């Protein structure tokens, strides 16, 4: 339903034309482009929750959601995602 959001979560850098100018958005998720299974993802950090990531992926059994909350840092949540992606059936 939201193709622009999906495209932006699957692209490292996105440029959008707004009136007479372009806006550039950099995707900070280092997994972008490395896993064809990812349909959409969102990363974030707030002090109360720590490092977070939510993603929707396609598996042989259908779509699966992976959500990680409370990682100590960006550097710890990525290995957690890799582990789950490898082991989610």
Q: What is the CATH number of domain 3-87?
A: 3.40.710.10
Residues 15, 32: Cα–Cα separation, whole Å: 16
Which pLDDT value is given to residue 20?
A: 93
Which pLDDT value is given to residue 89?
A: 66
Which stretches of the chain are assigned E, i.e. beta strand? 13-18, 21-26, 38-46, 50-59, 62-71
> For the purposes of burial, counting CB atoms within 10 Å of the CB of 11, is it exposed (0-12), middle (13-18) or buried (19 or more)?
middle
pLDDT in tens, 56-72: 988 888 898 989 998 88
Q: Point out the residues of the chain with pLDDT beneath 50.
A: none
The residue assigned the tokens 């992976």 is: 66
Residues 33, 10: Cα–Cα separation, whole Å: 7
Cross-strand partners of 63: 58
Domain boundaries, the chain: 3-87
């Amino acid at each position: 339903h939201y193709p622009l959001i999906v495209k932006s979560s699957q692209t490292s850098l996105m440029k959008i034309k707004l009136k007479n100018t372009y806006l550039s958005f950099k995707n900070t998720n280092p997994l972008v482009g490395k896993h064809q299974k990812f349909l959409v993802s969102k990363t974030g950090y707030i002090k109360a929750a720590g490092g977070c990531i939510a993603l929707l992926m396609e598996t042989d059994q259908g779509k699966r959601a992976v959500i990680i909350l409370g990682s100590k840092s960006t550097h710890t949540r990525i290995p957690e995602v890799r582990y789950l992606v490898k082991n989610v059936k």
